Amino acid sequence: MTPIKIREARRLILKAGATIKSGGSHDKVTHPTVPQTFHLPAHGSKGRPTLSPGMTHEFHKFHALLLAARNA
C-alpha cells in the first residue's frame, strides 16, 4: 500500500463530511455519526509529506467508516 500525502488525506476527510480540529503536532478528525476519531499529523515527519505505512492503513479504515456514514 503506497503512503498517502497528508494534503490528500485532509481533502478526502473534508469531502466525506468530517471536521478537522487543529492542535499540536496532530489534528483531531471527527464526524457526528462516527464514534471513532482519527489523529492526522499536522505535517510530515522527517521531511516526508506522507503518512507512515501504518497510519496509511488506519486512515483507509477510518475513511471507509466516513464514506459508510455519508452514504447511510
- Per CATH, the architecture of 6-71 is what? 2-Layer Sandwich (3.30)
And the C-alpha cell for 58? 488506519
Residue 62 pLDDT: 95
Q: How far apart are CA 34 and CA 66, in angstroms?
A: 7
Angle formed by the axes of helices 53-71 and 6-15, nearest 10°: 10
Q: What are the average pLDDT values for consecutive 10-residue runs of the chain, which has 72 residues?
A: 88 94 91 93 80 91 93 80
pLDDT in tens, 51-68: 988 899 999 999 999 999
Which cell numbers in the block locate residue 16? 466525506
pTM: 0.86
Can you give the residue ranges of every domain in the chain?
6-71
